[in-house]
């Protein structure tokens, strides 16, 4: 199975990069499963129903969230009629929506998408290790799903790595989101799980994690907020991770970073040619 996971989409410029690049990637690379983290898609904070539909129309099979899941209040309502929208599974019991989704892939197989949120340097929700373990046991790789992707939305790299090793051999891909900077540690762990600490953001990198620089710098230097954060509006880099799995096991065969457009040096997966 060919999987593409796209890092946090930030604001209008990030959405434009999705519309420009994603449909061609799906076609040229014959992608089977596309997951997009959309928790910063609406002006940098949250997601709306129309943006969710934009991503689905561009070819996303699932859209994951994070700590900004409810910044657009309409998300609390429309998530119930948005089966491809997945919020962190370790939010409290009774939270609207779903923390996992079993997706029909483009090649007719089934993929489990799990979203969870970390606790170090963040609001301490339920134990992500216990919650992810519960979901992996309920829908095991090859037993009930042909592929499993875990989006771990987390601040601390150590906690992300811990989840990676915790899931090794039980998931196809564990990828971190939230910090908006792509890491260079993409690898296949010993048990066969593809891992990357952070996929990076799909947004303007002439910014401070996607936001216009002036207000964050003012707060860093003076400690006084004077305006709200606004997304940077320059050309976006689409940042993602590409994974190919073994159909027999659901585990990873190859992993590579993806960066297209904007300011960052471009990189594409060499194991997929232009004809897919």
Please check whether residue 22 lies inside any domain of the structure. Answer: yes
Please list the pLDDT of the chain residue by residue as tens digits (276 residues): 999 999 999 999 999 999 999 999 999 999 999 999 999 999 999 999 999 999 999 999 999 999 999 999 999 999 999 999 999 999 999 999 999 999 999 999 999 999 999 999 998 899 999 999 999 999 999 999 999 999 999 999 999 999 999 999 999 999 999 999 999 999 999 999 999 999 999 999 999 999 999 999 999 999 988 888 999 999 999 999 999 999 999 999 999 999 999 999 999 999 886 444
Active-site residue, selected from the candidate residues 21, 68, 153, 178: 68
| Residue 265, domain member (yes or no) | no
Question: Is 274 part of a structural domain of the chain?
Answer: no
Token reading at 50: 């129309």
SS3 184: coil
Total structural domains within the chain: 1
Residue 266, in any domain of the structure: no
Residue 195 bridge partners (DSSP): 174, 187
Reference 201, options 175, 178, 185, 232; nearest CA is: 178
Residue 180 a catalytic site member: no
Does some domain include residue 272? Answer: no
The secondary structure of 72-103 as a DSSP string is STTHHHHGGG-TTEE--TTSPTT-SS-SEEEE
Burial of 246 (0-12, 13-18, 19+ CB in 10 A): middle
We report the CATH number of the domain holding residue 221 as: 3.60.21.10
Domain extent at residue 29: 2-260
């Amino acid at each position: 199975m060919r999987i593409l996971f796209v890092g946090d989409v930030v604001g209008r410029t990030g959405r434009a990069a999705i519309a420009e690049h994603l449909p061609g990637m799906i076609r040229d690379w014959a992608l089977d499963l596309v997951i997009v983290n959309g928790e910063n898609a609406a002006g940098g904070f949250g997601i709306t129903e129309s943006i969710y539909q934009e991503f689905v129309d561009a070819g996303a099979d699932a859209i994951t969230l994070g700590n900004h899941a409810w910044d657009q209040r309409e998300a609390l309502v429309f998530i119930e009629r948005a089966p491809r929208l997945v919020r962190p599974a370790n939010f409290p019991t009774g939270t609207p929506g779903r923390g996992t989704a079993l997706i029909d892939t483009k090649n007719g197989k089934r993929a489990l998408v799990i979203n969870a949120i970390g606790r170090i340097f963040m609001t301490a929700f339920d134990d992500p290790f216990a919650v992810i373990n519960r979901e992996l046991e309920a829908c095991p790789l090859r037993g009930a799903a042909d592929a499993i992707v875990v989006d771990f939305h987390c601040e601390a790299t150590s906690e992300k790595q811990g989840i990676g090793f915790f899931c090794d051999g039980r998931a196809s891909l564990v990828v971190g989101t939230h910090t908006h900077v792509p890491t260079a540690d993409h690898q296949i762990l010993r048990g066969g799980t593809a891992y990357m600490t952070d996929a990076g953001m799909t947004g303007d990198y002439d910014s401070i994690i996607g936001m216009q620089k002036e207000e964050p710098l003012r707060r860093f230097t003076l400690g006084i907020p004077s305006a709200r954060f606004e997304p940077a509006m320059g050309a976006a880099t689409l940042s993602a991770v590409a994974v190919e799995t073994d159909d027999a096991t659901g585990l990873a065969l190859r992993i590579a970073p993806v960066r297209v457009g904007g300011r960052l040096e471009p990189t594409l997966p060499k194991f997929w040619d232009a004809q897919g």
